[in-house]
Chains A and B, each alone.
Chain A
Amino acid sequence: MGEMFQPRIVGFLCNWCSYAGADLAGANRLNVPSSITPIKVMCSSRLDPTLVLTALLRGADGVLVAGCHPGDCHYGEGNYYARRRLYLLKEVLAALGLEEDRLSLEWISASEGKRFADVASDFDRRIRELGPNPIRKRGQT
C-alpha cells in the first residue's frame, strides 16, 4: 500500500435517535471521522440485511448501523428486529471472507452526541486496524 489507507464507512442512522444524536455531535462541535458517510433510514428495522451486505460487497470497509436504545424505538420494537437480523448476518460474513467486525450495531439516543462521536471514532479505528475490505483489495467491487 503506497498511500495511507483511508477507509470508507457507511453509517446507517435511524431518523429518530441516532441521526439526532449525530446532529448533536455536530452542534457540540465534536470530532467525527470523515470516513463515515451517514445514510438516514427511518428505522434500523428498514435495513434489509442485503443492503448491509451490498454495502460491503460494493467495497465499504465497514458498516455502522445505529438505532434507538432497546425499549426506545420510535416504532415500538424495530431495533429488536434490526438486532436479530444483523446478528444473523454477522454469521454469514465469514463465509464471504469478511471479518465480522466490519459490521457494528450500536444504540445511540438523540441526546448522546458524545456517544455518537465516540462510537464513530472507535469504529473508524477498528476498521483502520482491520485494513481495507478484502473484496475491494481484490478489485472485485
Chain B
Amino acid sequence: MNARVGVYVCECGNNISDQVDIAALVPMLEGAPGVVKVMSHRLLCSKEGQEFLAEEVRKEGLTHLVVAACSPRQHLPTFMEVCKRGGLNPYLMQMANIREQCAWVTSDRHEATEKAARMIRAAIARVVRQAPLPEREVEANPDVIIIGGGLSGTVTASMLAGPERRVHVVDRNPALAVALTSLKGVETHGGCEVEAVRGFFGNFEVELASKGSRQEVRVGAMVVCTGSRAMTLQEMGYPGSEAPHVVVLPQDPESLRPYLDALPSGQPKVMFVHCAGRERVGYCSGVCCLRSFKAMRWMAETAPNAQLSCLHQDICVPGRDGEREYQGILGIGARMTWGRLTALAQQGPQVTVSFRREDGSIGQDAADLVILVPATVPNHGARALIDIIGVEAGPAGFVEEAHPMLEPVSTSVKGIYVAGSASGPRDGRATSLLSLAAAAQIAAELRPGKTLRLEAQTSQVCEALCTGCRNCMTVCTYGAIEYDLVAQTCRVNETICRGCGNCVAACPSEAISVKGATYQQILQEIKEAVR
C-alpha cells in the first residue's frame, strides 16, 4: 500500500507564524516522499482544529499524519486522540516541534523557516517507516502486599482492604497489632520476611519466608512500610556513652520511669541532649525536638523536683503545635544551652557532658541523668529489603521517592510504593498522610476489574539475528529480557519493557529494535537533518 501522508502546519495563533514564514514553508514540503497534502491551520489544538484534523484524516484517506506544531510534551496525547477519532492508529502520527524548538528560539525568520522545513521533513521520513502499534493491556491483580505492620502499614491496609481487594501485611515481628489482625480483608503474615520478588506492576509474585516455611503471595502492588527507628548509642559513637546514667530517649517517656526512680533525692539534674547522632547521619531528622519537649513536659509533671536542662543545636519545631511546645518548655524553667555533644563521662554519681559551642570553645556540664535525643534512621532490615525488591535508596538508606513533590509515595519501580517513615524521618501525622496518599494512589492506579495500559513502543528481539550473547540482559535496568534456554536466544518481556532502547545499542548483532525508534527511522531523520 502506498503511503498517503498528510502534513498539517499549525500557526499556533501567531506563536509559530510570527517567526516561520508559513506561506514559504508549505511549498517546501510538497513533493516530499509520500506526501499527498500539506496545509496550514490557525490553531490545530482548538476544538474546531481537532475536528478539522480528524475529518481530514478520514476524507483524504491518510495512512500517516505529521502535525507540525508545539512540543509533543504539550499536545501528543491530544493529537493521538484525534487520530483515533479519524480512524488512524495513533502511532502513525508524528509531531514536529516547530514552536518550542524552532520558532521560539530562532530570531532570523528565514533561518526559522528553513529549520522548520528540515524538522518536518525528518518527521515525514520517520513516520512513513512507522508500523501501527496496538494499545496493549494486561490483566491486573488488585491485591496488595504491605511490608511492615506499624502505623503506616496499618493505615494503608485499613484504607485498601475491601471486598474486592485482599491486603497482605508482612512483618518480621510475629505479634502484629490487633488493629491489623482484626481488619476484614487483611491477611497478616507475622514473623515473615520477603525473600524474593518476581514480576511487575499488576502481577507480582512475592516469596515470603518464616522459620522453616515458605509461601508465595500474588499481588498487583507492594507498599514499603518498614518505618524507621532511633539510632543506637553504639551507632552514635560518642566517647563515654556506655556510662550507666546515659540513656536514649525512648518512644514512650513512661519507659524512663526506672531511671527517674533511681535519681538521687533533692534536686537531681536531668539533661536532654538534642541532635545525638546528627553529624554521623548527615541530616536533621526534624521530628525529635518536639518529641524531646513532650518528654520534658512529662518529666516536669512526673518528677517535679528535677532540674531540667537541654543541650541543643537548631530548634526544629515546625507546624501548628511546635512553637507552643517550645514556649511551654521555656515556661517550666528548662535551661537551654547551645552546643554540639562531643563526649560523655561518668564521674562518680554524675555524667559530665562535653560540648562544643558555636564559637568553637569547649563547654562542660554535669547531670544525674543524660537523655540523648536520637537521630532517626531506617529500620533494621530495610537495606536488605531494598536490595531484594530493587527500589532505589538515598544516601541515608531510606527508600527514595520517585519525585519528592509530584510522586512522594512512588518509588523507582512501577507498582512498588512507599509510605510513612520508610522514605525519611516522619512524625505520626506525616506518616498517616503519606499512608493515605499511597492507598489513594493504589486505589486509582490498580482498580479491581480494570486492566493496565502498557508501553506500546517496546523493544523486540529478532530471533534469527540473536546470537544469545545476553549483552542486552546485562544492560537492562528492568530485567525485561529473558533468555530462552531451548532456542538459545533472548526475548523481551513486553509487559516489563519501558522502551528506553539501551539494549538496542548494546546488541552487537543488531537483533534488537525499539518499535517507533528503529535504526531506519532515526537514520532517515539524520539524513533530513543534514540535508
Interface of A toward B, CB cutoff 8 Å: 8, 10, 19-20, 22-23, 25-27, 29-32, 34, 37-43, 45-49, 51, 54-55, 58-60, 74-78, 81, 85, 117, 141
Q: Are B530 and A55 in contact (CB under 8 A)?
A: yes
> Contact at A34–B412, with CB atoms within 8 Å?
no
Question: Among the listed A26, A49, A54, A75, which residue makes an inter-chain contact with B502, where contact means beta carbons less than 8 Å apart?
Answer: A75
Q: Is B498 part of the binding interface, using a Cβ–Cβ cutoff of 8 Å?
A: yes
Smallest beta-carbon distance A25→chain B, Å = 6
Decide: B529 and A46 in contact? CB cutoff 8 A. Answer: no
Complex CA gap A123/B504 in Å reads 27
Cross-chain contact A75 with B477 (CB below 8 angstroms)? yes
Q: Could you pull out 20 A-B pairs where Cβ atoms are within 8 angstroms? A: A22-B100, A25-B100, A29-B104, A37-B115, A37-B122, A39-B526, A45-B502, A45-B505, A46-B500, A47-B505, A51-B519, A51-B523, A54-B523, A55-B526, A55-B530, A60-B526, A75-B502, A76-B392, A76-B412, A81-B505
Whether a CB of chain A sits under 8 angstroms from the CB of B315 is: no
B interface majority secondary structure: helix
Chain A residues whose CB sits within 8 angstroms of the CB of B527 once the complex forms: 58
Q: Are the C-beta atoms of B477 and A54 separated by less than 8 Å?
A: no
**CB within 8 A of A59: which of B392, B505, B530?**
B530
Q: Which residues of B contact A22 (CB under 8 A)?
A: 100-101
**Partner of A45 from B102, B119, B501 at Cβ < 8 Å:** B501
- Per the bound structure, the CA–CA distance linking A29 and B106 in Å amounts to 9
**Are B97 and A38 within 8 A (Cβ)?**
yes
**Neighbouring A residues of B245 by C-beta, 8 Å:** none
**Tally of B interface residues using CB under 8 Å:** 46
Contact (A42, B499) CB under 8 Å given A10-B529, A27-B104, A31-B105? yes
Q: B3 CB to closest chain A CB, in angstroms?
A: 21
Which chain B residues border A49 with CB–CB below 8 Å?
A: 505
Contacts A37-B122, A45-B502, A46-B504 known; list 11 others, CB within 8 Å.
A8-B530, A23-B71, A23-B97, A42-B457, A42-B517, A46-B500, A49-B505, A55-B526, A75-B502, A78-B502, A81-B505
A46 near B530 (CB under 8 angstroms)? Answer: no
B218 lies within 8 A of chain A by Cβ: no
Indicate if the CB atoms of A39 and B100 lie closer than 8 Å: no
Contact partners of A43 in chain B: CB under 8 A: 500-502
Q: Which residue of B lies closest to A26 (CB)?
A: B100
B112 at the interface (CB under 8 A from A): yes
Q: Enumerate chain B residues within 8 angstroms of A19, measured Cβ to Cβ.
A: 73
Q: Which residues on B sit within 8 Å (CB–CB) of A42?
A: 457, 499-501, 514, 517
CA distance A68 to B196 in the complex (A): 31
B491 sits at the interface (CB 8 A)? no
Cα distance A117–B107 when bound, in Å? 13
Residue of A nearest to B457 (CB): A42
List of A residues within 8 angstroms of B102 by Cβ: 34
Asked if B263 is at the interface (CB within 8 A of a chain A CB), the reply is no
**B380 to A: closest C-beta gap in Å:** 27
Chain A contacts for B97, CB-based, 8 A: 23, 38
Cα A39 to Cα B104 in complex, Å, equals 17
Given contacts A41-B517, A51-B526, contact A30 B73 (CB under 8 A): no
Bound Cα distance from A37 to B106, whole angstroms: 12
In the complex, what residue of chain B is closest to A47 when comparing beta carbons?
B505
- Contacts A39-B122, A43-B501 given; does A32 touch B73 at CB 8 Å: no
Chain B, residue nearest A141 (CB): B530
Residue contact B119 to A37, C-beta cutoff 8 Å = yes
Q: Is B118 an interface residue (CB 8 A)?
A: yes
Q: Which residues of B contact A23 (CB under 8 A)?
A: 71, 73, 97, 100-101
Interface check B475, CB cutoff 8 A: yes
The reply on B114 being an interface residue by CB < 8 A is yes
CB neighbours of B291 from chain A (8 A): none
Asked whether any CB of chain A lies closer than 8 Å to the CB of B340, the reply is no
Known interface pairs A19-B73, A32-B105. Does A75 touch B519 (Cβ–Cβ under 8 Å)?
Answer: no
